[in-house]
Structure 1
Amino acid sequence: MGGDVVVLRGKNEGIAALLALVLGFFGFWGIGHIYAGNLKKGLALLLLGLLLAGALILFSLAELMAGMVFQLGPSSFILLIGAIGWIWQTFDAHKEAIKYNEMLLGATKNIGEN
């Protein structure tokens, strides 16, 4: 029998986490999720990360213009939320790549059983 051969490649968990870590630092959250195959979650995180980065810039400039240098203001809260979200989305991108690979492995097992 001359069947077609299909090669399915998994996602590298390290690359997913590295993309999320490095690009997420600059507000580009969700890139690791998109790489790992979860487009909807990745785009939602990308939007959220960019909104937080924009809010941080705007509030920081407003505080600077108001003379609130080295004081706790809204930008401090946004920075804290952003740091927590950045770390979380890095670990979650790693987990999403693992889930993708497990799904792929399950799909190839089902193909082999037929």
Structure 2
Amino acid sequence: MYCPNCGKDSVAGSKFCESCGTVLPTEQNAQAAGQQYNNQTPPPQQQAPPYGQPQYGQPYGQPMYAPIPLKSAGLAAVLAFLWAGLGHIYLGLITKGILYMILYIVLWVVSFFLIFFTFGISLIIPFIFWIWQVYDAYKLANQYNSTVQQTGRAPW
């Protein structure tokens, strides 16, 4: 007997098709159904489509890019702590980092010459700038990572 759904030959007396799971007609209905199919050839055998996870890939003609790595906010802060501007250079802000290095040196030189006139208070200015640029490097690293995660592109 052939399955009325998929056309595969079924074992006599079975209630379900072994191939597709369709309920097979009973003996009484099989005789009536058999009369319909006796004059016809069985439908061609088709393989079931493979199941599983669909394969997703890059569309044709589109270049594949490696994901942009995130920057460590802690490393940016440590580099800025070691030398002013170094954390900004790590983040890709090279011009800003070099300017901070130059400004840091200039602030120390000016503070050193003003130390006698200000009774040492001028030494606070380079220290404040140093602390601020460490915080700025940390904040910018977090901003960089947030933008990369949202857009997939570097912000600067």
The number of aligned residues is: 93
Q: In structure 1, what is the Cα distance between the partners aligned to 2:87 and 2:152?
A: 24
Q: Which residues of structure 2 form unaligned runs of 5+?
A: 1-57
Rg bigger for which structure? 2
- The answer to whether the 8 A contact 2:80-2:137 is kept is yes
Higher relative contact order (CA 8 A, sep 6+): 1
1:20-35 paired onto structure 2 within 5 Å:
20-23=80-83, 29-35=84-90
Shift of 1:47: 1.8
Matched, 1:43 2:84: no
* Root-mean-square deviation (Å): 2.3
Shift of 1:107: 2.1
Q: In structure 1, what is the Cα distance between the partners aligned to 2:138 and 2:147?
A: 14
Q: Which residues of structure 1 form unaligned runs of 5+?
A: 24-28, 64-72, 110-114
SS for the counterpart of 1:106 is helix
Compared CA separation, residues 58 and 11, structure 1 to 2 (3 A): same
Which residue pairs with 1:87 in the alignment? 131
Which residue pairs with 2:76 in the alignment? 16
Residue-by-residue CA offset, 1:70-114 (whole Å, 9 max, x unaligned): xxx3372331111111111111110011111112112228xxxxx
Identity %: 31
Compared CA separation, residues 8 and 75, structure 1 to 2 (3 A): farther
- The answer to whether the 8 A contact 2:111-2:125 is kept is no
